Amino acid sequence: MLSTNRRQFLGGAASLAVVAPWAKVGLAQETQGVHSILNDLIRQYAAAASSMTNPSVRDLYEQDGFQDYLEAYPVGDLVDGFVWEPGMGAEFEGPYSNLPIKAPFTDYIPLDEGPVLDPDRTYRIGFVFHGFNHPWLISLADTVAWEAARHPNIELEVIDAEFDDSRMGQVIDTWITRQFDGIVLWPAREAPMGPPVDRAIEAGIPVVSLDRRTSSSAISSEVLGNFYANGLQQGLYLKHVVSEGNMVLNRKDLGSTADSIRTGAFLQAIGNTDGFEIVGNYHTNSQRSLAFDATADALQANSQFDISFNTGGEEALGALGAIEEAGRLNSGSSGKIIILANDDAKEIMANIRSGAIDMVAPYTPLIGDVGLRALIRHIGANEGRNEAPPRLIITPNLPMVTRTNMTIEGVQTLTPDEWLYAYGPAVE
């Protein structure tokens, strides 16, 4: 397998130097190693964070204690030497959203269709998360349910705890009572979900968390997203296109992993470019209307407003709304206010195509299938059928999406048409 060899070859700290000369060979080759290219960039910028020269960036970086969060966030290799390339994955209709989905990682920790483990047994599995009315989270549930539906002897129960951590704990306790075979969860916050997960593990039930982490040290596996690569790429893109400007940050809930890792990594990337000045720093908690109001006020307070950094997609769309309402999209030192986004919703992609939003770092919700497959392996390991998967299951770093193809520090960007995995309802 060529790709496996290549992957091994690329591994290690020196790979950046090796990749750079090949960077113009062709789309398939360039993107093959995107996971490790980005990991190397992460390491490179993390090392430079201790000597930030931009005072405005450094002050915020230190004030919010980003260093501690970033140091604790796992950055590493994929399980079993998996190499992801754009185009991989399966297409299906989301069982909950009824929307067409292409999930990128269906070949990661693969599992054949059909009965799993003991075919004469029904395995009861619970999936608890929050937000059956958030496009990102419904898509996450879609992938869990899709994987479950591929295996006739899996019975999946899906519960929405509606952002009440205590309720999520009770759901897990209920499943312990009902002697479920395994639990997959999307914890909104780390701290409160540790004890219930520990109780499940103690009762012999394997537990896998998706995307966000819990404080449990006994949890079977954690499927992690690529927050670090998100924020870093927002910074890389920004300093690739401009070297100065006044910026306003619309961030998520203070202390959430999404905020601390994405915003922290963004600051790491731009910390040594002195022309950037942070003139506004808001927590708009993933609410479009809050981001709208904050950006409207920031536009009013700053006649010089050049860059809008957003920790999520909702934030970016709120910021865009305010900028358009003020009639200032085509203003700022570069002739257009640069809008940086996360989350590859179809709505965001439409705005990338039109040029209103400049770049988005995809953060795919389509990882629930990976979690369920890992959980089944854990159940199999308990039954002595196979080896357990590793504790940390890193998902592939994804390249940023821009209107036209660009190469930024060795990262080949994709266009919205090349990005097949956008989620949520379609937008014309």
Partner 1 sequence: MSASADHPRPRPSLFASSLRIARDPLVLLILAILVLGSLTSEYYLTMRNLETLLRFMAVIGLLSLGVTIVMLTGRIDLSVAAIMVFSVISAVVFTKLLGGWIGERWVVRGNSFVGPASVVFLATLVVGCVLGLMNGIGIAHFKVSSFIMTLVTLTALRGGNYILTDGHPYYLQSDAFRWVGNADFLGIPFSFLVFCSVLAFLAWLMGRTNFGRHVYAIGGNEKAAIYAGLKTNRIVILTFMISGLCSAVAGILFTSRLASVDAPLASGYELTAIAIAVIGGTALSGGVGSPWRTLLAAVAFAAGLNLLSIWGVSTWYQNLAIGLTLLIAVGLSPASRKRLQL
Partner 2 sequence: MGLAEQSTIQRVENRPRLPDRLVVGPDAIRAAVLIVLLAAGALLTPGYLSLENFRILLMSVAAVGIVAYGMTLVVISGEIDLAVAGTAVLSAIVGATLLDTGSPVLVIGATLVTGLAIGLVNGVLTAFVGIPSLIVTLAMLGISRAVANIISRGQASYPDSVAAYLWFGNGKLLGLPTPIALLLSIGALMVVLTRFTTFGPALYATGGNTKAAVLSGIRARSVKLSVFMICGVLAATGGMIESARLSYINPAAFAGLELEALAITVLGGAALAGGSGSILGTLLAALIIGVVNNLLNQLGVSLYTQRVVTALVILAVVLPGYKRRQIAK
Binding mask 328-367 for partner 2 (x = CB under 8 A): -------------------x--------------------
In sequence order, which residues have a C-beta less than 8 Å from that of residue 277 and are 6 or more positions away?
56, 245, 246, 247
Tell me whether strands 182-185 and 207-211 are parallel, antiparallel or unpaired.
Answer: parallel
Is 150 an interacting residue with respect to partner 1 (CB under 8 A)? no
201 belongs to the binding site for partner 1 (CB under 8 A): no
Contact call for residue 97 and partner 1 (CB under 8 A): no
For tokens 């003139």, the residue is 279
194 is a contact residue toward partner 1 (CB under 8 A)? yes
Closest CA to 147 of 417, 353, 369, 425: 369
Pick from partner 2, partner 1, none: which does 280 bind, CB < 5 to 8 A by kind?
A: partner 2
Q: How many residues bind partner 2 (CB under 8 A)?
A: 41
Other Cβ atoms closer than 10 A to 89: 20
Determine if 283 is a binding residue for partner 2 (CB under 8 A): yes
294 binds partner 2 (CB under 8 A): yes
Backbone angles phi, psi at 208, to 5 degrees: -125, 130
158 touching partner 2, by CB under 8 A: no
User: x/- site string to partner 1, residues 284 to 323, per CB under 8 A?
Assistant: ----------------------------------------
Which one of partner 2, partner 1, none interacts with residue 215, CB within 5 to 8 A by kind? partner 1
Task: Decide if 368 contacts 210 (C-beta within 8 A).
Answer: yes
Binding mask 304-333 for partner 2 (x = CB under 8 A): -------------xx--x---xx-------
With CB under 5 to 8 Å by kind, the binding choice for 277 among partner 2, partner 1, none is: none
b/e sequence 267-286, b meaning 16+ C-beta within 10 Å: bbbbbbbeebbbbbbbbbbb
255 binds partner 1 per the rule CB under 8 A:
yes
Residue 389 makes CB contacts below 8 A (sequence gap 6+) with 79, 109, 221, 374, 377, 378
Q: Which residues contact 65 (CB under 8 A, 6 or more apart)?
A: none
Q: Note the residues at the interface with partner 1 (CB under 8 A).
A: 64-65, 132, 157-166, 169-171, 173-174, 176-178, 189-192, 194-195, 215, 253-256, 259
